[in-house]
Amino acid sequence: EADRKECTQVTHVHEWDPGSVIQAIDHYCRNKEWAMNVGDEKGCILDSVVSEVNPATVLELGTYCGYSTVRIARLLPPHAKLITLEFNPAVAAIARQVIAWAGLEDKVQLVEGASGDFIPRIKEQFGVKTFDLVFLDHWKEYYLPDTKLMEECGLLRKGSVLLADNVVCPGAPDYLEYVRSSPRYESRYFKSHLEYTKVEDGLEKSVFLG
Ligand SMILES: O=c1[nH]cnc2c(O)c(F)c(-c3ccc(F)cc3)cc12
Ligand SMILES: [Mg+2]
């Protein structure tokens, strides 16, 4: 089970390696200007779930500047693939640089578009059968419809793990209700805080039971 291991990062800041990219973004967003990266505290929970699942295929909905993309991709086994979807072209362009700086281009495929259009095309366009891990971090109103769409498109298999950010703040009540009451999911809440603040937030980890 993913526990909350103390997650400390000691990296050589002078090299553009994933740890230093993560550290630089966290330092900037904590001290200069808040931004909606999953952040270091929730990021450690994300790390432990990624390490536990050890996924060969990952889908991230909501790339933003690529912070969580780098957090996930740095932990993936050699031939694993992460597809990340971003609606906003401006932030997607930034994310491409962040991912390149971290030296993770080979593991990451960044796609620009809307999840509702993209999800039904994944199988034939990207040759993915099912996802071992999905990180939901885009628009809260889309968590539930996109989850139902992934089920309908056969993108989830017995044991697929959904990990959703911001289930408390800004909140995704309809999604929470669904995964917590559906017999097809085993769901667990990891209490944490809104990135770089003391406000409560958390991640919901839901295992698809098939
Ligand atoms: O829209 C979002 N997509 C993905 N992640 C988010 C997030 O982590 C946030 F903290 C927030 C957020 C924004 C403003 C607030 F006052 C609180 C949370 C928003 C998003
Ligand atoms: Mg988020």
| Active-site residue, from 41, 60, 165, 201 | 165
Structure confidence at residue 6 (pLDDT): 56
R_g of the chain, CA atoms, integer Å: 16
| CA gap 97, 24 in Å, rounded | 14
Region 11-16: what's the mean pLDDT?
46
Confirm whether 166 is a catalytic residue. yes
What is the mean predicted confidence (pLDDT) over 57-64? 99
- Chain centroid to Cα 135, Å, comes to 3
Letter string b/e over residues 150-179, b meaning 16 or more CB atoms within 10 A of that residue's CB:
beeeebbeeebbbbbbbbbeeebeebbebb
- Report CA-CA distances (Å) from 112 to 13, 35, 58, 66, 83: 30, 20, 16, 13, 11
Find the 42 Cα to ligand 2 centroid distance in Å: 9
Does the Cβ of 56 fall within 6 Å of ligand 1? no
The answer to whether residue 40 is catalytic is: no
89-112 pLDDT tens trace: 999 999 999 999 999 999 999 999
Token pair in block for residue 145: 């419809």
165 catalytically annotated: yes
Of the candidates 17, 86, 132, 195, the residue annotated as catalytic is 195
Sign of the Cα pseudo-torsion (32, 33, 35, 41, in order): positive
Residue 56 has which token pair?
A: 């060969």
Residue 170 beta carbon below 6 angstroms from any ligand 1 atom: yes
Q: What is the pLDDT of residues 61-91, one digit of tens each?
A: 999 999 999 999 999 998 999 999 999 999 9
pLDDT number for residue 8: 54
The protein residue with its alpha carbon nearest to ligand 1, atom 15, reads 170
Taking the model in full, what pTM does it have? 0.95
Q: Which ligand is nearest to the CA of 196?
A: 1
